A and B are shown apart, each in its own frame.
Chain A
Amino acid sequence: MDVFAFILEPLQYGFLTRALAVTVAAAVVAAVLSCWLILMGWSLMGDAVSHAVLPGVALAYILGIPFSIGAFVFGAGAVALIGIVRSTTKLKADTVIGVVFTALFASGLAIVSATPSQIDLMHILFGNVLGVSTGDVWQVMILGVVTLAILLFKRRDLTLLAFDRTHAHVIGLNTRFLSALLLGLLALTVVVGLQAVGIILVVAMLITPGATAFLLSRSFDRMLVIAVVLTVAASIAGIYASYYLDISTGAAVVLCQALVFTVVYLFGRPDGVLWQAQRRRVVRTHSVEGRGAASSMAPVPASSARASDGAPGGDA
C-alpha cells in the first residue's frame, strides 16, 4: 500500500538508515540527559559545551584523529575553564559561560578558516547526518550506550543533586564529583549528538525533550520515559520530513521536537495553557469567591490538602 511505500522508500538507501540510526541514538541519549540538565538549571551550560567543542573538532580533522576525542577534550576543557573562572572571580555563572564559550567558538572558527580546504565548516555546525559512515555509526552507538548506562546507573544520585544539593552534601555524598560526572556526560552527549544535527542544533536536543517532558510529569521516572518516547518520535518524523520535503535533516529533527513542545505547551494536561484558560473560565462562572483562579500551578488536589491541613497552599 501507499503507506508502506511511504515508510519503506527512504529505507532502501543505506545513507538514510544510517542517518536514522545515528539520529535516534543521539536523540535518546540527549533526551535522557536533558531531564537533569533543565532541572539543574544548566541549559546554558549545554549551549556552552556544544559551541566550545568546535576547535576540538577542527583540530581533530587536522591531526587525523577521531573527531570525538577532540570534541570531548574541548567540551570537558570548557567546563573546567568555566568552573575555574567562576570560582576565582565575583562574576555570575551565565557571564562566565558567555565569555568562555564564545572565545572557544571563535578560536574554532579561526582554526577552520586558516585551513579552509580540509574541513567543511557547515557540516560541523549543522551536521552531516546523511554522510555518516558505518564507522561513525559505531562510534555514536558505543559512546551513546556508555553515556546512557552511566546516567541510568547514577540516576538517583543525579536527581538528588538536582533537587537538594545541600542534603546530598550533608549525608556525605560527593557533590563535586556528581556535578563533574554530569558535566562530563554532557560533553559526551554533545559528541554523540553533533554527528546528527551539528553543534548548533545539538543544543535543542539537550533542552527541548526535557522541557517538554517536564510539562507533562509529576515524577522523574515518568519524565525520563516521556522525554525518550517523544524525542524518538520527533527524530523519525524529522528524518522522513527531511527526505520528502528535501530540507536539512538537522533542522527537520529540531523543528519536529519544537512542534511536539508546542503541542504539549498548548494542549498538555494538566498545565497546558488551553486547560489553564478553561479552568479560569470555569472558576469565573461557577465559583462564588473566584479566588482559586489566581493559582495557575495548583491542581485540584491542592485545595483539599489545604482544607485538611488548614494551611495556605503557598504557591512558591
Chain B
Amino acid sequence: MTVHPVPTGFPAGAPVLDVRHLTVRYDDVQALDDVSVTLAPGRICGLIGVNGSGKSTLFKALMGLLAPQSGSVELFGRTTASARKQGLVAYMPQAEEVDWTFPVSVSDVVAMGLYGRLGPARRLRAADRAAVDQALERVGLTDLRRRQIGQLSGGQRKRVFIARSIAQDAKLLLLDEPFAGVDRSSERTMTALLQDLRDEGRSVLVSTHDLAGVPELCDEAILLHQRVLAQGDPAAVLTHGNLARAFGPVYRAAPLPPAAAPSVVPAAASSPTASSPAPAPASSPAQSAAPAPAPIGKP
C-alpha cells in the first residue's frame, strides 16, 4: 500500500476539517449551536460529550448527511461532497448500528472500502485484492478473513472497520464510539494502530463518552455540549471545571485529577465488559477509575 506522509492533492496548509459557526436544529431541539472546529493533518482528536451532546450530529454534518441551518463545513479545503467523491473520508459505525447477522465475510467488508474507485460492477482486480490482504494483515485479521462478521469478538469487529478505512486509503477517519464493548487489551491494540495511521499523516476524529482512553490516544480533544466548551490539549480540556460543565450534575469530582488519568488505565483492565457491546456502566473502564463520568454511559 502506498503511504502518503502528507495527504496529497489538496491545497497545502488546508486543515483536514474546518467547521465554522455550525448550527443545527431538529425541529425545536438545538443539536449544535455555533460550533467551530478545526483539525490539522496527522492528528488524533477526541470528541467528548454526553449522549445527546451533538457528537453524532457533528459527524453527520461532516459526512454531508444533513443540511445545517447556518455555518459551513469544509474537508481538506473542499466541500464534503467533493471530499467523499475523492475517497478521503472513512466512517466506523457504532456497534449497534451494524447488522452483525448480515451474510458478509471479514474480507467482503474490507473490500467495500475500495468500491469508490472500482468500476461500475465493483469487480476486484489483483491489485485491489492485494490492498485488501494488506489491510487485513495490518489489523491482524488475516486468519479470520473468511469469517462471517458476527463470528468475531468485540475488538475484532472494530478492527474490521479500521481495515476497511485502510484499504480505502482514507485521510480522515471518523470513529463513532470505537471503544464501546471493547476490552482493555483490544483497546490498546487499536490505540497503537490508530497512532500508526496518524504517523502516516492521516487524521482521526474519535467520538466517545469514555474519558479513560482519551489522554493515552488523543493529541487533542474537543469537549462538546451543543457548543464547544473547550478545545485543545487533552490535559487542558479535561479539567474538573470543564467536565462538570459537559457532563452536568452527573459529574462529581473524580478521585483523581484528570491530568493523572493515564495512570488509572491498568486499574480497570481486569473487568471485560459483559456480552452487550454497549458499555454497561458497571463494567466501563472509566467507572472503576473515575466513578464520576461513567454514569453518563446510558444507552
Is there an interface contact between B121 and A153, defined as CB atoms closer than 8 Å? Answer: yes
Whether A297 lies near B272 (C-beta < 8 A) is: no
Minimum CB distance partner of A302 in chain B: B151
* Size bracket of the B interface: 35 or more
Q: Given the known inter-chain contacts A309-B153, A311-B154, please indicate yes or no for A219 contacting B96, CB distance below 8 A.
A: no
Chain B residues with CB under 8 A of A164: 93, 98, 112
B93-A172 in contact (CB<8A): no
Complex interface: chain A residues within 8 A of B53 (CB):
none
Interface residue? B257 (CB, 8 A): no
A284 contacts chain B at the CB level, 8 A cutoff: no
Docked complex Cα distance between A223 and B155 (Å): 27
CA distance A276 to B181 in the complex (A): 26
> Which residues of chain B are within 8 angstroms of A170 by Cβ–Cβ distance?
63, 84, 89-91
Docked-complex contact A315 and B275, CB < 8 angstroms:
yes
With an 8 Å Cβ cutoff, the count of chain A residues facing the other chain is 43
Do B115 and A313 touch across chains, with their CB atoms under 8 A apart? Answer: no
Decide yes or no whether B281 CB sits under 8 A from chain A: no
The reply to whether B156 and A305 form a contact with Cβ atoms under 8 Å apart is yes
Bound CA span A170–B181, Å: 24
Minimal beta-carbon separation of B171 from chain A (angstroms): 13
The answer, yes or no, to whether A116 is at the interface (CB within 8 Å) is no
Q: Contacts A157-B122, A295-B275, A301-B147; is A169 near B115 (CB within 8 Å)?
A: no
A122 adjacent to chain B (CB < 8 Å): no
Q: Is the CB of A156 within 8 A of B122?
A: yes
Which of B95, B101, B115, B147 touches A156 (beta carbons < 8 Å)? Answer: B115
Q: Which residues from A are CB-within-8-Å of B148?
A: 218-219
Q: A: which residues have CB within 8 A of B?
A: 39, 153-154, 156-157, 159-160, 162-164, 166-173, 214, 217-220, 222-223, 294-295, 297-299, 301-302, 305-306, 308-316
The 7 closest A-B pairs by CB, nearest first: A171-B116, A311-B153, A156-B122, A218-B148, A309-B153, A172-B85, A314-B277
19 contacts between A and B (CB under 8 A): A39-B102, A154-B120, A154-B121, A160-B115, A162-B102, A163-B104, A166-B97, A171-B168, A219-B148, A295-B275, A297-B150, A299-B151, A301-B151, A309-B186, A310-B153, A310-B272, A312-B181, A316-B96, A316-B100
